[in-house]
Amino acid sequence: MKVNGTPTRTIWQAADGQAVEIIDQTKLPHALEIVRLTGLAEAAHAISAMLVRGAPLIGATAAYGMWLAMREDASDSGLSIAHDTLYATRPTAVNLRWALDAARARLSTLTPNDRVDAALALAQEICEEDVAINQGIGTSGLPIIEAIAARKADGQPVNILTHCNAGWLATVDWGTATAPIYMAHDAGIPVHVWVDETRPRNQGASLTAWELGNHGVPHTVIVDNAGGHYMQHGMVDMVITGTDRTTAAGDVCNKIGTYLKALAAKDNSVPFYVGLPSPTIDWTIEDGVRDVPIEERSADEVKHMTGRLDTGDIATVLITPEDSPAANPAFDVTPARLVTGLITERGIAEPSVEGLLSLFPERRAA
Ligand code: MRU
């Protein structure tokens, strides 16, 4: 998508061919800084410290991390260390496991001499596939927005609420939840996005608002607690979120707070959709509440907030009593019964085993 009018992706091979470059998302929205990753340790740090984040981008970065690692040590033990180091970075987004397992499966059949080039080729494939998948999600989801727009009085925008950042910054390009929104906007359909701030890391306020603004999509940042109120007052036509892992039965694990939005949507008959790329489906589990590992992050993220002072300096401040303990589960699970539809690159699935299998019939045999 566009930054200052220039089409931009979140990750790419550096022009000199010697490194991977990423946008450092911890610096947004106040600065657009590009960071160069040259080795396994830097790639692992970029994921765990959330310079990159969002399930698809975590997977893509891990794939590039395997390339960087193979340049350092392409032996069998180097392959296994690289896989395990990257796998330990963040536990919830299943795209990480998906990308790393794909890399290990492909590279382990090759001699060490061939592994560097093959790892790079796979990372590039995963990135291109991500872009195509997200475009597919956009194409699948666009008719939902068109149908709502057709029921509205002339010129009235379709009001869409989203949580966290499931935009292009969370992927290689387009985003998942945002792909139908960008397509609708680009097609001239008036849309307006309610952007949940998404405490504690504020991916909505910092990232979603930044990218929507850069692409010219009308939006309003709201505190996480406001969505239910707007739904009660008929000011939300639909919710679209992303997902970090959706089970074979359609339970949706996503950023903490998503579940509360789904409950409010159900109570107010607001359709609740999820942008779901197929690599985010965990076909090995059905019960998301029981079986998805939920990342517990540092209490410091809850106890502090970071922002820009009027001087232009970036500052981090304590917002709780110094000694108060804090807990920080990073994700929650929205049961399938609260989900209206899963918007995939192959169409919209009913959130159930049968619904997903009908779009991915090759999984019946698996
Ligand atoms: O902790 P984050 O920022 O990696 O969490 C991201 C989310 O929860 C996104 O909604 C999800 O990964 C979908 S991204 C297309």
Any domain includes 337: yes
Same domain, yes or no: 117 and 155: no
- The string over 307-331, giving b where at least 16 C-beta atoms fall within 10 Å of a residue's C-beta and e elsewhere, is eeeeeeeeeeeeeeeeeeeeebebb
DSSP string, 42-75: HHHHHHHTTSS-SHHHHHHHHHHHHHHHHHH--S
Domain that holds residue 83: 2-128
pLDDT category of residue 74 using cuts at 50, 70 and 90: very high
Same domain, yes or no: 84 and 164: no
Cα 137 to Cα 234: distance, rounded to the nearest angstrom: 26
Any domain includes 18: yes
Whether the model clears a pTM of 0.85, i.e. scores above it, the answer is: yes
Best of 243, 280, 301 for a ligand 1 pocket test (most atoms within 8 Å of beta carbon): 243
Same domain, yes or no: 44 and 119: yes
40-48 and 76-87 helices, crossing angle to 10°: 20
Across all residues in the chain, what is the average pLDDT? Answer: 97
- In 3-state terms, what secondary structure has residue 227? helix
Ligand 1 proximity of 206 Cβ (cutoff 6 Å): no
Same domain, yes or no: 57 and 156: no
Same domain, yes or no: 74 and 144: no
- Residue located nearest, by CA, to atom 15 of ligand 1: 166
pLDDT tens readout for residues 118-139: 999 999 999 999 999 999 999 9
Which pLDDT score is estimated for 366?
62
- Counting atoms of ligand 1 from 1, which one is nearest the CA of 167? 15
Show Cβ contacts of residue 283 under 8 Å, excluding neighbours closer than 6 positions.
Answer: 248, 363, 366
How many CB atoms neighbour CB 293 within 10 A?
12
> What average pLDDT does the segment 140-147 reach?
98
pLDDT category of residue 109 using cuts at 50, 70 and 90: very high
Same domain, yes or no: 118 and 233: no
User: For residue 285, what is the domain's CATH number?
Assistant: 3.40.50.10470
Any domain includes 298: yes
User: Given 173, 196, 244, 251, which residue is catalytic?
Assistant: 244
Any domain includes 133: no
Same domain, yes or no: 87 and 6: yes
Any domain includes 231: yes
- Please state the φ and ψ torsions of residue 292, each to the nearest 5 degrees: -85, 125
Helices (H), the chain: 40-48, 55-72, 76-87, 94-107, 112-151, 178-186, 209-215, 227-232, 258-267, 288-291, 300-303, 353-359
- Total of domains in the chain: 2
Which pLDDT score is estimated for 6?
87
**108 C-alpha vs ligand 1 centroid, how far in Å?**
30
Which pLDDT score is estimated for 1?
86
**55 C-alpha vs ligand 1 centroid, how far in Å?**
5
pLDDT tens readout for residues 8-45: 999 999 999 999 999 999 999 999 999 999 999 999 99
pLDDT tens readout for residues 8-18: 999 999 999 99
pLDDT tens readout for residues 169-211: 999 999 999 999 999 999 999 999 999 999 999 999 999 999 9
Any domain includes 76: yes
The CA-based diameter of the chain, rounded to the nearest angstrom, is 64
Give the pairing type, strands 347-349 and 341-344: antiparallel
User: For residue 96, what is the domain's CATH number?
Assistant: 1.20.120.420
16 is catalytic: no
Ligand 1 proximity of 162 Cβ (cutoff 6 Å): no
Which pLDDT score is estimated for 2?
82
Same domain, yes or no: 212 and 345: yes
Compute, in degrees rounded to 10, the torsion defined by CA atoms 295, 301, 302, 304. 180
